[in-house]
């Protein structure tokens, strides 16, 4: 793949179910970028609270809003991002994307470096609960091992959220 360009058409990619609900299409994975980044097309259903607040220890996460409006809490800020907006979340920063609106939101989701595509594939296969804390201690232990594997940590927001 090192000397070839990559073309991904509108219907190309690996279909997944996003662990927070909605459709996700893995468009570009690690092997096509030498591990530099991955790209996912994500549809967030209306009224979705998104995953619980979390951070990534090993990845920057970028949201490019294609359609609708995405709300993202990033550290102490609350960002309302309309179509055409970029939101970049540095590694180690607590964040939570959501769609409190009444229409689906389509987002191009990018991770750098790559690797989070495996997180989403495994989460879809194993039905990992990312929105609520599991009551079952066995499921909780499985979830903790899963998130640790990918440098994904549930976390609390800092005090004093600001509106943007």
Q: For 4-35, what is each residue's pLDDT tens digit?
A: 678 899 999 999 988 888 899 999 999 999 99
pLDDT reading at 150 higher than 70: yes
| Structure letter (DSSP) for residue 48 | B
Q: Are 42 and 24 in contact (CB under 8 A)?
A: yes
The pLDDT value recorded for residue 18 is 85
Give the number of other CB atoms < 10 A from CB of residue 65.
Answer: 20
Q: Which residue has the higher pLDDT, 160 or 58?
A: 58
Q: Are 112 and 88 in contact (CB under 8 A)?
A: no
Average pLDDT over residues 52-75: 96
Average pLDDT over residues 136-161: 85
The pLDDT value recorded for residue 106 is 97
Average pLDDT over residues 60-80: 96
The pLDDT value recorded for residue 158 is 80
Whole-number mean pLDDT of the chain?
Answer: 89
Average pLDDT over residues 117-138: 80
At 57, is the pLDDT very low, low, confident or very high (cuts 50, 70, 90)?
very high
pLDDT reading at 163 higher than 80: no
Residues whose CB is less than 8 angstroms from the CB of residue 22 and which lie 6 or more positions away in sequence, other chains included: 42, 43, 44, 45, 48, 104
Q: Which domains does the chain have, with CATH numbers?
A: 14-159 (2.60.120.10)
At 160, is the pLDDT very low, low, confident or very high (cuts 50, 70, 90)?
low
pLDDT reading at 125 higher than 90: no
């Amino acid at each position: 793949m090192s000397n070839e360009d990559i073309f991904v058409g509108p219907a190309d990619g690996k279909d997944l179910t996003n662990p927070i609900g909605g459709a996700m299409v893995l468009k570009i994975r690690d092997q096509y970028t030498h591990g530099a980044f991955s790209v996912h097309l994500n549809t967030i259903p209306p009224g979705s609270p998104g995953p619980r607040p979390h951070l990534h220890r090993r990845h920057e996460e970028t949201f490019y809003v294609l359609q609708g409006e995405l709300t993202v809490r990033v550290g102490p800020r609350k960002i309302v991002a309309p179509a055409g907006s970029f939101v970049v979340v540095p590694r180690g920063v607590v964040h939570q994307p959501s769609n409190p609106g009444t229409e689906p939101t389509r987002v191009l989701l990018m991770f750098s470096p790559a690797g989070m595509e495996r997180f989403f594939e495994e989460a879809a296969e194993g039905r990992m609960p990312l929105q609520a804390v599991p009551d079952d201690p066995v499921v909780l232990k499985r979830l903790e091992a899963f998130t640790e594997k990918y440098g994904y940590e549930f976390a609390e927001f800092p005090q004093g959220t600001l509106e943007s």
